[in-house]
Structure 1
Amino acid sequence: MSQRVSNPLLPVLSALDGNESPRLLERELERASDDQHLSEAECDVVRRIDSSLRRGKRRESLLRVLLETTTDLVAITDFDAMLHAIVRRTRMILGSDMAYISLNNYDTRETFIHTTDGVATEAYRNIRMELGTGVLGKIAAGTGSAQAIDYIADPDIIHVPEIDDTVVAEGVRSIMGAPLLRDGVLLGALLVAERYQRRYTAEEIWLVESMSALACVALSNARFIGDMQAALEERDRLQATLETEKSRLASEQEFERALVECAVSADPYGQFLEQVVEYQSGELWLVDDLGKWIRGTRELPAPESALEKALARSHRSGDFAPVGTVGVGVGVGVGVGVGVGVGVGVGGGAGLSILAVGAAARLLGGIVVEGNVDQDRERVLRRAAVMLSVLRLIDESSREEAARAQSGFVHAFLVPPENFEESMLLRAGRFGLSEGHPVFVHVVDSDSRAALIVDVLCSLPAWSAGAVAEYGGRTVVMGSENVGEAIVQQLARKQVSATVGIGIEGRLGGSLARAHRTAEQTLHAMLALGIREESSTSAELGAVGMLMSSATPDQVRTLIDLEIEPLMNYDSERGSQLVETLWAFFASDRHQVRAAEYLHVHPNTLRQRLERISALLGEDWHTTRRSSMIYVALQLHRLQTKAPNSRYMSDPVL
């Protein structure tokens, strides 16, 4: 016996309450209608109630999904990660083939795809289109949602051929999207797309709009949090920078204190070099204003000429200058005077750099470094350069004091013997001179003022001993060695032309007036003979040369021309060697064989040359009176010629 149904509508109500499938509800409604328990109108009411319940449950489900999405998005603070999460969640909720976000660029008046999920082609990911074109452009240009069931065939869309080709290549048929609005500003759009035709329901559109609104809020939070984190990081960075700067300033103050102490050190340049190298590391050299080495961590791998040029460039620019040429190291010469000079530079030849050191417009010296000069190293070097300029000025003051002492010493020793004070001998050791030892007195003639020559020589680092001063309108240098050639060369580097006569006193024991007089006579003889920019002693000029000490250059020229001008003209016109032949003949004591051997010619050749000489000078050139005058003229001409590689400058070995 079947169970009796107490209420014929109970199955219908059960289908509604259980939210069963619509087919089950329709079967129950058909059965109730057939049994005449419900009219057709009542069945329609039941169907509307079912539809309303189903919409409510779907809305409840969507709201739950939105709540979960909101919770998830709030935890994300990275901007790009936030956008990826939004498009991924939107695509998943709607079950779409793809989802993406477009952003507006109002500067270029275009919208572009920024973040995608499910897009297959690179071209689609990189779509950029003018605002107002396409579905994406239409949404981004407005403030409401929009969809295209069949994008390519939709006549309401403003199509761009290139974009349509990209859409076809991706296989997209339907597109729907909602705008991203923040504070009334349209940021872009959130879109979904399908590779088949799909009409999106109002609920689905509402869902995308809700996700778009959540995205705007989440983006605002993410940017706010990102800005806050950036501000905190900037604060931490600034705090760390301040601590680093504080530590650096303390270190630099200690460095400057150590540099100041160098001024009172027994070895100021040595201690200065040590402090700078310890603080900034790397190779370092100190040079003078001529590029000469003063101190360094090792031999300076560049020639003085390259350093001097780079130093001048650095001084003009006030910045680092490359040392363009690399060569051998430079050493220190020997000479007289006191004082030390420094040169500076930073440059690029072989990794060398040079920075000029000066005071006002004056070049005082500098620092040479090796390797790259970065900002920190440059700051250290410039601080060191300031102290180096102080050391150079102290040096200069010391040189001026030394110059006064040297001037007094020189004047005291050049007085007549009867006026010489024996107590001055006690001061000789200060200038490298020793009682009872030889003394060289150099008298310098130049086209520059004597005071300028004194300043130049006193500033040179080459002098190891001696004294230099102005005396009688010329510069006098007294020392324990012959430094005549060094004086000429050093002054030439300063573009100063100089000629030096040298007198020698066998032993220091009193006045040096006689040696000074000899030096003056030697100098006068050199000038009369036309010898310029050289140095010589009376012995090197010989007796004939010294006889010219009271002559003028014109008188010497007249004597030479009077005796041997025909030979000189003949040699000049024909490239012969009659003057040299006659000198060898006289110097060989008129012995033809020895003269021929000296000249490396056959005796017959020598006889032929002597016959030519007789034809030019006359047969009486053999006589004692005439030959003596010719020999003097030859000696004077020989002194004037000064050809180092010529046999004419050396005497035959008899």
Structure 2
Amino acid sequence: MFDLQFFESYLHDKGIHSAFQIWESTFENPDGRPIRENEQMIIPQSPKPQSLHPSLQQITHDGQTMVYFIYSVDYHLMLCFQCEYQFSLQDLQVLYHLLYPLHTNYVVNSGKAKLNTIIETISDTTSSLDLEEVFSNILVNTLEVITNADYGTLWFYDPELDRLVCEASEGFLLDEIWHMQFEVGEGPIGHSFEWGVPLLIQDPSEISKKGIKRISEENERLWDRTSDYFTTIKSVLAYPIFVDGKVERVMYLGQLKTDHLLNEQDLWLLKVFTTQVGIAIRNARQFADIKELNNRLIKRDHIHSTLTNLSIRNMGAEKIVQELGRMVGQKLLFVDLMEQEWFPASKKIPHDVSFKDLLKIASEPRESNQYELTHEGEVTHHLYPIRSGTVILGCLIVDAQKPLNRLGQMALEQGTSVLALELVQKQNISEFYYKHQRELFNSLIQMNDPTVRLQIASELGIQEESEFATAVFQYTDYTDSQLLEAYVHRLIAQIKKNAAPYIQTIFGYQNKVIVLASLPTPSDRTTFEKRVNELLEESAATKKFKLSGGMGSIYKGIHLIGKSYQEALTALSNPASRQVRNRIVKYSDIGINRLFTNQNTEEINRFLIEIFEPLELADKTNQTLEKTLLTYFDCNRSAVEAAQSLHIHINTLYQRLKKIEDSLQLSFKNPEDVLRLQLACYLKQSLGIQ
């Protein structure tokens, strides 16, 4: 603590009894102010030293003596006497130390003030959870802490531009700063961002010597516009701001007008401040994310509530799609892949993509629920599948030229779920309808009372007088029952679409679809068969579930519908139909195969083994005897034709036939043996039984 009495005592010992004043010049008050005096005197003309070197200076002028003590860049003392006196260097050093407590007191009080400022600014910065407000306050508060800086700018990395751009500016008078863009590593700003290290430059002309990448020509051009302004720059400070261990922004401070260069103390103060700034940014961002998430949840709940309300009120899929379009901000195309229809009907499916192709696209495994429709290599539309488990029920198609915002994406996510429920409900209603139709159909074919039969036929929508044929389609080789149900519904929709004029009634049951068709003319029969065969060919091409079909004979009158139905089942279950995938098997075409429809397969196999196993044992030349026997009957037992077909001499054929007789202990001259062999060859070839 400064002792004024001791100080005066020292002066008296030196023979100085005149009036004196002690003037203090600080960073905050560079013009100086008197802090101690023993009596009033004339204010000195120059309380500030002319230079900062040397640290001890004395001037005698007009009956006054002024002694300057330079303690630091920020703190000077001047001792002014109302007399002329010449101090020795030793005297000046003693006075320097006697006055040093005043400097110590300033440093302590100044440090407290700066610390309070830091605490206040950190508190101000971290108290806000609004990200924009945090950014706007950062520079203002920084300049409160770093008093040597005249201006400050805040820079962030824009990944789309791959450049650092100005986000905020304080104390900067020029608009050019907003047009400047720095590459990573370019200039002090880019260098600090790239390497995550602070830069203190007290002589801007030495920037190139610090290994910093040269500023681009465009940025130099912007700087050159303001060269008069920037020639006064004395020092700069670039400091990276870390958030969660990653550089997010760079703070750039400059000194223009102040007398004191930015220094290591400023660097340290900025380190303390930017650490808290990083925490403030992280907290504000987390709050913003939580707030955004909460808003999204509120909006999602509103969307879900609105769409669910429409569903509960049985407004239908069309109304739900209309409401979705309003939420999304554009018209949507809804495609029902179960019923093979779309809404609005006035719009067309883009590029005339078929239902089959839409189903194929939507069935591709993908993490995202968004698919693309392309035309000439360009994405024109986005497709959003509507699923229920493993089943694709439908899809929404959106114009890719009108990007969806987050709310639109959210609406589609909710919408596809609600539409899935709507379509499942519709499917369940169809199931109930099919069950009712099946019960009526079974009653019809079992009813003997003509009057009641007519009433049932009327309920089914069947005409009284027509020529009817029943077709039964059956899926096999399926493992997913839910997917099977979807396939049955789609097949019904396809048959309705392709053969609508001929259908009297149609329904699904388990893995089957039963169709009753009215086919009064040969042309009707040909067209109907052609169209159902096209469906079978299309199904065979998908290589999913195996679809086969059987068709009964055409009969006139409702009372014979049951007979046609039983024939269709016989044609479908006949072993010959298993070999056919791309056309319907008609009862009239299976001929003698009717005899084997309900036969035990094991018994037939045993019969074939009795014929062909002895030939295999007797044959040591790769099933030559079996091939000879099959060819012989294919050629209607013509030895000449059989020999030509086998490319062997006729005598060789006779030798093989004799060997066959010996092996089987049968004779080609015995009609019963011939029938037995011919039947075995037929079963092996026609029915595919091995």
- The higher radius of gyration belongs to 1
Smaller-chain TM-score bracket = 0.3 to 0.5
